[in-house]
Amino acid sequence: MVYIRAKKVKSDQYLYLVKSVWDSKKHTSKQEIVKYLGKASEVIKDDIPVEYRDNPKVLSVLASFNPTDIKKREDATKKSKQQIYKKLTEGNIEECVKIYQEYTKIFNSADFFDRILKQVMYDIGEDWENNKISIATEHVASNVAQTLVKIIMDSVSGSGNKKKILICVPIGEEHHLGCDILETYLSIKGFKIYNMGTSIPTESIISFIESNKPDIVFLSITLPDNIAAGQRLVKKIKEESSIPILVGGYAMDGEKIPKFDAKIISNISLDEILKIIRSV
């Protein structure tokens, strides 16, 4: 059984999706958090994991928190997804920037990355694989998305006085949009980011870690074909350093998660990644 639990902090309500789990040793049920949903007034249906999204009890509780506002936010999310897909595939960076600016009047940058850009880029990738769009259109969309993230990054004025984080990819990995999004978000939150989001030799990454001494390494892997290279990179870093390593990216979001001598970040939001980073 799943349900939504609310927790009040000061004057705001925060929601958690929880489920009851039977403890056979204590012969009683206990609560287990499925997902932290966020501030009650900002949670929408899309924040609920797919398998629980149509649960009547969950939807009923969700609707009890500012139902008019939630409907407005859901409509804004749906509309923005449709708009950004169209403008990315058309190569229209100016309109993409406008969509981002309008969306963040209601939500924040993390919401835009999690609910809009990430989801739309998944859709574009699937549409290319299913021959609904051409490879040329997919490349145009990816390049425009990277430019959009850079424009957002250029508007950031983080203090950079928190933990130092190195973001990198294994050898052979050429996709770095996820790295750029993570850099932008964490910079907004005040972290010092070293974004090594292009494929470089393992020895260079090790040397950089030795010279700059980051507090955390975040390894991003988009293509499953690059998982083995990622495992080798993690192993090499572990041989040379005791630095905490987090591994995430699209390749980690499948049902079968590969083994790493590191903490796997799978199917979670940027806000949840932030909590993990702060706890390391």
Q: What is the CATH number of the domain that holds 140?
A: 1.10.1240.10
Of the three residues 64, 84, 118, the one that is the final residue of a domain is 64
The verdict on residue 159 lying in a domain is no
Phi, psi of 230, rounded to the nearest 5 degrees? -65, -40
| Mean pLDDT value across the chain | 87
Residue 5: its H or E element: strand 2-9
Asked if 205 and 252 sit in the same domain, the reply is yes
Q: What is the pLDDT of residue 66?
A: 62
Residues 174 and 267 in one domain: yes
Say what angle helices 67-90 and 56-64 make with each other, to 10 degrees.
100
**Structural tokens at position 33:** 């958090």
Q: Return the pLDDT at 157.
A: 57
**What is the model's pLDDT at position 247?**
95
Question: Same domain, yes or no, for 179 and 236?
Answer: yes
If one counts the domains in the chain, the total is 3
Measured between alpha carbons, how far is 152 from 184 in angstroms, rounded to an integer? 7
Domain final residue, candidates 95, 120, 154: 154
Claim to verify: residue 26 and residue 59 sit in the same structural domain: yes
In this structure, the answer to whether residues 17 and 55 fall within a common structural domain is: yes
Q: Would you say residue 223 lies in a domain?
A: yes
The pLDDT score that the predictor gives to residue 220 is 93
Residue with tokens 């009923």: 60
- Tell me what pLDDT residue 236 has: 95
Q: Identify whether residues 184 and 241 lie together within a single domain.
A: yes
Question: Which residues span the domain enclosing 32?
Answer: 2-64
Q: What is the pLDDT of residue 106?
A: 77
Considering the domain architecture, whether residues 229 and 137 belong to the same structural domain is answered as no
Q: Which residues of the chain have pLDDT under 70?
A: 27, 66-70, 156-161
Q: What is the DSSP code (8-state) at residue 36? A: E
